[in-house]
Structure 1
Amino acid sequence: MTDTRTEHATLTDGRALHITYALPDRAVRGGIVVLHGAHGVTSTVRLLVDALAKEGWLAVAPHLYPGDEGAGDIDEATAREQISGLSGEAVLAAADVAFGWLGERGVRQDLLGVVGFELGGSVALVVAAGRDIGAAVSVSARGILEPLSDGLPALVDVAGDLRCPWLGLYGEREPGISVESVAKLREAAISAEAASDVVRLAPDQPDEDHGPAQEAWQRTLNWFDAHLR
């Protein structure tokens, strides 16, 4: 069984950050950095870290908000305040600590992946455009045409700089995300040298067991299977 833990991690070079992680109970296939959503490292984020570990990935979620020691589930007002303080430099620095933590445990750079949902999906694209890693997945990433904070870029402005294979997943009816904006993001990503794909997930169907959440999960696993090897 996997064991999800939260601790203050310090790298050999002195960089430090709170992280939540889970170790596979079999041979490590590679490392996945999980970027949390607006409400921090919630129980859902912990479940995702655990689920990736069960698939053989050494999974780690860096705590992106200053002073966040792992409570998660912060309220809406606090979430907005925390997001407003995020910058591209800060999220890349947090991701770098997570990558460094994985590297110190023997994970090669080409076997490093990143995945995020909503806010985390936006950050995942920023990381994919700024770091040489193996693969990235963004689910329901916000801030396509207008940035989520003054310090973060609009996604269409960085998608053309992708440095690793990137998968973007969106539902058919995403609140606050228009079909036109997703199409513009797809066009911007296509201009990058790295491979990319933007998929609109099928809506729920009556009497159907496999909905968009299950499809997103399977596509995420398939993307990492294909590119982290």
Structure 2
Amino acid sequence: MAQTRTEDFRLDDGRALRLTFAEPDGVTRGGLVVLHEARGITDAVRGMVTGLAAEGWLVVVPHLYAGEAGSTEVDHHEARDKVSELSGDSVLAATDIAFAWLAGYEVAADRIGVIGFELGGAVALVVAARRDIGAAVTVAGGGILEPLSDGLPALVEVAGELRCPWLGLYREEGDDISAEQVEKLREAASAANIASDVVRFPFESGASEAWQRALNWFDAHLR
């Protein structure tokens, strides 16, 4: 299975960011930007990266927190502080650098997708509403009615501005996200003139079902 690596990447214009990435063993199908959860680059994030690389994707994780060490994750208390410092501009700047990294491997924008869980899921929707890429997937993205930080928008405020196909995946229980919130997000996304879907699924089958639905979404839209 592909292994993750971490390096500091710098663009010619001086912008720089730490990235964690994994390359597929065979032909590259396209590029995926994985947006990490509130605790940073966790084992779960690394597992997602290597799993997607095994499916043939070139995968990169932009480190959204300034100064974050590539081999560590933050605790819950520190995570709250770091999330509060994020803004729409900062997360877009980070993903733009990840897109530039993929472009260096000749991955075109319409073959690039973003996927994130929890905090990363919320950021994925923000990116999908602000950037022209191939597709996006949100898994358990919070901040639907109330933003996760003062600098980030509530998801219902941007869902109607989607610029690429977007899939939202939410468990029926266990994420502190109510059915009413998910329905409001579905309604907001339906106002966009772009393909979207919001799915709720049982907790017991959550991980495997979310994984397969995400893969199917990218298969359908990143061609």
**TM-score clears 0.5:** yes
Counterpart of 1:37?
37
2:117 paired with 1:117? yes
Question: What is the Cα deviation at residue 203 of structure 1?
Answer: 3.4
Counterpart of 1:208?
none
Aligned equivalents of 1:217 and 1:24: distance in 2? Answer: 18
Partner AA of 2:126 in structure 1: V
| Runs (5+) with no aligned partner, structure 2 | none
Question: What is the Cα deviation at residue 43 of structure 1?
Answer: 1.2
Counterpart of 2:214?
220
Partner AA of 1:20 in structure 2: T
Counterpart of 2:57?
57
SS of 2:138 mapped into structure 1: strand
Checking the alignment, whether the CA contact within 8 Å between 1:9 and 1:16 is kept in structure 2 is: yes
**Residue-by-residue CA offset, 1:158-201 (whole Å, 9 max, x unaligned):** 00000000000000113321111100000000000111000001
Partner AA of 1:3 in structure 2: Q
Q: TM-score, normalised by structure 2?
A: 0.98
Checking the alignment, whether the CA contact within 8 Å between 1:39 and 1:72 is kept in structure 2 is: no
Aligned equivalents of 2:175 and 2:201: distance in 1? Answer: 14
Counterpart of 1:201?
201
Partner AA of 1:68 in structure 2: E
Report the aligned-residue RMSD: 0.9
SS of 1:60 mapped into structure 2: strand
Aligned equivalents of 1:14 and 1:44: distance in 2? Answer: 31
Question: What is the Cα deviation at residue 11 of structure 1?
Answer: 2.2
Which contiguous aligned blocks of 4+ residues in structure 1 show a shift greater than 4 angstroms?
none
Checking the alignment, whether the CA contact within 8 Å between 2:173 and 2:202 is kept in structure 1 is: no
**Residue-by-residue CA offset, 1:115-148 (whole Å, 9 max, x unaligned):** 0000000000000000000000000000000000
SS of 2:71 mapped into structure 1: coil
Alignment of 1:61-210 (within 5 A): 61-204=61-204
Question: What is the Cα deviation at residue 202 of structure 1?
Answer: 2.5
Count of matched residue pairs: 223
Aligned equivalents of 2:211 and 2:222: distance in 1? Answer: 16
Counterpart of 2:21?
21
